[in-house]
């Protein structure tokens, strides 16, 4: 499923009176979408995968850091 991302910018003024823009003012909008039935990808001959673990740890770098003497 693909959804467009609408960037938002907030105009602010610094203490010296200069304007600057704050990117993505935490207001995100998504167009309404229809839910896709869970069986549809299987019907359309796609492989379905259910993630059982969500781990973003960079284990290789973590191991290297553990070997260092801090």
DSSP codes joined into one string, 9-41: EEEEE-TTS-EEEEE--S-------PPPPTTHH
In a domain, 8, yes or no: yes
In a domain, 59, yes or no: no
Identify which of 30-34, 53-57, 60-64 has the greatest average pLDDT: 60-64
Length of the chain: 70
Strand partners, 13: 19
Which residue range(s) make up the domain with 8? 1-30
Please give the tally of structural domains in the chain: 1
pTM (2 d.p.)? 0.30
In a domain, 24, yes or no: yes
pLDDT value of position 13: 93
> In Å, how far are 8, 26, 35, 39 from 42, measured between CA atoms?
37, 36, 15, 5
* 9-34 pLDDT per residue, tens: 888 999 999 999 887 655 556 667 77
């Amino acid at each position: 499923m693909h959804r467009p991302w609408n960037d938002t910018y907030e105009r602010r003024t610094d203490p010296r009176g200069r304007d600057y823009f704050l990117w993505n003012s935490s207001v995100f909008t998504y167009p309404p979408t229809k839910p896709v039935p869970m069986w549809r990808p299987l019907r359309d001959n796609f492989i379905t995968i259910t993630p059982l673990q969500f781990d973003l740890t960079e284990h290789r770098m973590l191991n290297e850091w553990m070997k260092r003497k801090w």
